[in-house]
Structure 1
């Protein structure tokens, strides 16, 4: 198995496990936070979709992200320049209530573009560094701009798996084990 096959399978594995954790959750459960400084499942799913959108559209292809290009900010009732991370408790409190349909719709559009990119890139291109950051507003922008595409895979897969665990914990806190 080469790196491209591995990455493709890991992104599919993430989707499969994520949907298992999301299965049957109500809008209330999706948006529940265990305390004022914690993220909700909805926030985490939205955040990971936004991050994937920026890595594959902005970083890999120098395109406008789908968030802006397809008007997802408007569809989800948010600002075009909605921060992706580092929310304070008051900002988390004010984060919009998102439904399962909204979350999955945005995630699926992003994932379809990710799959299209993965299907069309050659293994020779994986070692190239596009030379741009998907998060120019971040303190890590200069480090991200040095990433190769294969290094980005490591970053994104690790982040998605970390957040997947958080989603599982939040589900378990609300429903108990395996429910």
Structure 2
């Protein structure tokens, strides 16, 4: 596969997440964003936050950035979540998800837009050598930049789909 094709595919995939995220939160109240289908389920707010945080954290590790957009650009303060600044959602308990709060629903799309901008900048600079660079040799085969980006995209797609599903449940409750 040529670098141009890989770039176009990555940009298209991440662009779909950028386009879908605002649609899943738009028009919902804070109560609807925080509604959980059951006590152990994730709500829309947590799903879209985690989607953006995992993308932000992993893309930051692939760039020369010294820190994520979350901490470097002040999103951690704007969200004001009851978690440590380096929290991104992995291994959080149901109780942790339940402590999630949101003051301004517009923050989700704005934060993800900043993450998307950094993702696009990274993807646009990659060439065949950069895609093949090993970033984690604890696996067999070792994880390359290309594999990591596919993993990030896969996780984002799954969480966006989950948030869309929960939105459908919220709308059916109205």
Task: Give the shorter-chain TM-score range.
Answer: 0.7 to 0.9
Unaligned runs of 5+ in 2: none
SS at match of 2:135: coil
Question: CA offsets per residue over residues 104-148 of structure 1, 9 Å max, x none?
Answer: 12111111111111222223311111348xxxxxxxxx449x421
Kept in 1, the 8 Å contact 2:56–2:69? The answer is yes
TM-score normalised over the length of structure 2: 0.85
Taking a change above 3 Å as real, the CA distance of residues 35 and 99 of structure 1, as seen in their structure-2 partners, is farther
Q: Write the distance in 2 (CA, Å) between the matches of 1:102 and 1:7.
A: 24
Taking a change above 3 Å as real, the CA distance of residues 83 and 17 of structure 1, as seen in their structure-2 partners, is closer
* Superposed CA RMSD: 2.5
Q: Which has the higher contact order (CA 8 A, sep 6+)?
A: 2
Residue matched to 1:172? 168
TM-score normalised over the length of structure 1: 0.82
Runs of 4+ in 1 over 4 A off after TM superposition: none
Taking a change above 3 Å as real, the CA distance of residues 24 and 45 of structure 1, as seen in their structure-2 partners, is same
Q: Write the distance in 1 (CA, Å) between the matches of 2:18 and 2:124.
A: 17
Unaligned runs of 5+ in 1: 133-141
Number of residues of Structure 1 aligned to a counterpart in Structure 2: 169
Q: Answer yes or no: is 1:51 the counterpart of 2:54.
A: yes
